[in-house]
Amino acid sequence: MAYQALYRQWRPRDFSQMVGQEAIVETLRHQVQTGRIAHAYLFCGSRGTGKTSAAKILARAVNCMHPQDGNPCGKCETCQRMQAEDYMDILEFDAASNSSVEDARELLERVSFPPQFGAYKVYIIDEVHMLSNSAFNALLKTLEEPPEYLVFILATTEPYKLPATILSRCQRFDFGRIPAAQIQGRLREAVLGARGEASDGALMTIARAAEGGMRDALSILDMCLGYGRKIDEKLVRDVLGTSDRAFLFRFSSALRSENAAELIRLVDELMSRGKDPLVFSRDVSSHLRTLILAKCCGESIAETLDLTAEDAAEYIRESESFTTSRMMDMLDLFMHLETELRYSGSPRIALENTSLKCCLRTKETDTLALNDRIAELEAEIKLLEDRVKNIPAQGPLQEKEQTESGKTAASSPAAASRKPREKSTAVKKPESMTPLGRSTDEVWKEALKILQKTEPSIHGMFLMGLFAGSDGKEYRWKANPGFEIIASSLNSGERKPKIEEALTAASGTECTFTALDASQDQQKVEEASDEKYLEELYDTFGHEPVDVVDEIPQK
């Protein structure tokens, strides 16, 4: 006997064998039981959701002489006849392959002949949206005044393409996608029927890939059984050409950390395994969608997406490190890639390019991402400010800053009170004055002026940091964070003597120079501020020991 495809073997023979669509099945059965049959039905829904199966069962049920619970009995004379393929009163017509007016006219010409055996003459028109306009007009004419015995069952995946005049004359049923768990159940029966073995994971992978369509699910299972009786997840993935979840998690983790090198490496791994970039980009889209849902819905995705609790937890964990808007942007990019790949001559380049685009975070709009960006920008501004502060030290700007600070001192009492104190410290510390009568600050500025003329390249390097103080002999400078290399370059044998020469000339006494990077400097700054704090204490309390007593509360 010739092999019959699984989806034919498992096509439901009555309503009780249908998987999913419980509400629709219930309504149709009730109509058969009560004899309230409509003249036109419209079954809508995506492929493989049971529209044609339901239509065929309904066509037999309305003609059965003794229907059982709304199902055809399978025993009566009409049922026996109907089981033979060439039953005259059920006419099936595929509009996708016969869309011309002639075909439709020929079909509808037979409408005027009453049924030969049963009570109804049933027309099943598949993909009815494919009919031409004239064919629709012919159909409409019949639907306006249908003979008593006539039933039309129109099935379509695209109901919005039907004229409103047709829609308004039909009783409409929308067939939803069948839940993966229900598909998995039917697949298990089919595997056992075929004397095969399959893991739960393998059957669930097939069920998910079928996206709610039973026919697709059975066809995939059929293909898998072609490779052997034992089916595991790996075999299913090979048949489908899809990527495994672990790989997708590695990929999304690289996207999250914006690790461009890792992404390119993963694409390379994918290509060397002979995977199709288009299939992969669909997998990434679906993975990102799951992550977005995990972020938005939390644990309830286990139910929505037919996931196990552990799988759901894994998605939720991964989604936590992404912002929703970032994932949505990435999903946009990958969905766009799917379209692009259909026409692209270089699919690998397109895939790499999209992966890298995901690392560019320029379009983000949600608060978390904006906060990130603001923090980054603030850090940059701080860096620029530090540099600008250092610039007045080298020229005419210096005087301008001084007059400006003088103005501020006069206008702000806080600054006014601070100013004289700094002066008094300077007076009290003659050791900080150099033989030429300059303060260490002034020596530094003067040395920079000298270097600006003699060694402009060294002078330029000082813009990447700040003067960090001096004890009158050693002059210290600190590099801004990220410019540690400048510090080590200034400390190098060639530049250091030139800087020390300039400092010596500016101060009138032998000077040394040390460049610090940000981390070293922290210590020195702390030491310096300790010293300063001590000086302030001496200013206030003098050098003699002071008794500290608890304040007595006043009554």
* Complex with Zn ion: residue 70 or 72, whichever CB lies closer: 72
The separation between CA 376 and the C-alpha centre of its own chain, rounded to angstroms, equals 23
Give Cα 62 to chain centroid, integer Å: 50
Q: Give the C-alpha separation, 25 to 15, whole Å.
A: 6
Task: Give how many residues touch Zn ion by CB under 5 A.
Answer: 5
Question: Considering the complex, what minimum distance in angstroms separates the CB of residue 97 from Zn ion?
Answer: 31
Give kind and range of the element (H or E) at residue 457.
helix 456-461
Task: Compute the distance between CA of residue 196 and CA of residue 442 in angstroms, rounded to an integer.
Answer: 90
Inter-CA distances, 144 with 102, 121, 137, 342, Å: 20, 17, 11, 44
The Cα–Cα gap between 250 and 397 comes to 54
76 or 130: CB nearest Zn ion? 76
Which CB sits closer to Zn ion, 54 or 82? Answer: 82
Q: How far apart are CA 353 and CA 124, in angstroms?
A: 48
Distance in Å, CB of 175 to Zn ion, minimum: 25
Min dist CB 107 to Zn ion, Å, is: 26
Minimum distance from residue 61 beta carbon to Zn ion (Å): 8
Query: What is the distance between the alpha carbons of residues 326 and 365, in angstroms, rounded to a whole number?
Result: 9
**Closer CB to Zn ion, residue 79 or residue 267?**
79
Q: Give the shortest CB-77-to-Zn ion separation in angstroms.
A: 8
Nearer to Zn ion, 64 or 217 (CB): 64
| 473: amino acid identity, one letter | K
Whether the Cβ atoms of residue 37 and residue 54 lie closer than 8 Å to each other = no
Question: Min. distance of Cβ 57 from Zn ion in angstroms?
Answer: 12
Query: Residue 66 or 421: which CB sits closer to Zn ion?
Result: 66
Give min distance, CB of 76 to Zn ion, in A.
3
Which region, judged by CB under 5 A, interacts with Zn ion, from 35-43, 79-87, 313-321, 444-452?
Answer: 79-87
- Residues numbered 260 to 279 that lie near Zn ion (CB under 5 A) are none
Min CB(39)–Zn ion separation in Å: 22
Reference 209, options 229, 230, 188, 238; nearest CA is 238
Say how far apart CA 357 and CA 353 lie, in whole Å: 6
Q: SS3 for 183? A: helix
Structural Rg of the chain based on CA atoms: 41
Smaller CB distance to Zn ion: residue 54 or 170? Answer: 54
Q: Which stretch binds Zn ion (CB under 5 A): 78-86, 88-96, 350-358, 536-544?
A: 78-86
In DSSP terms, 43 is beta-bridged to: 155, 173
Contact positions with Zn ion (CB under 5 A) in 36-75: 64, 72-73
Considering the rule CB under 5 A, would residue 79 count as an interface residue with Zn ion? yes
Quick one: 32 or 180, whose CB is closer to Zn ion? Answer: 32
Contact residues for Zn ion, defined by CB under 5 A: 64, 72-73, 76, 79
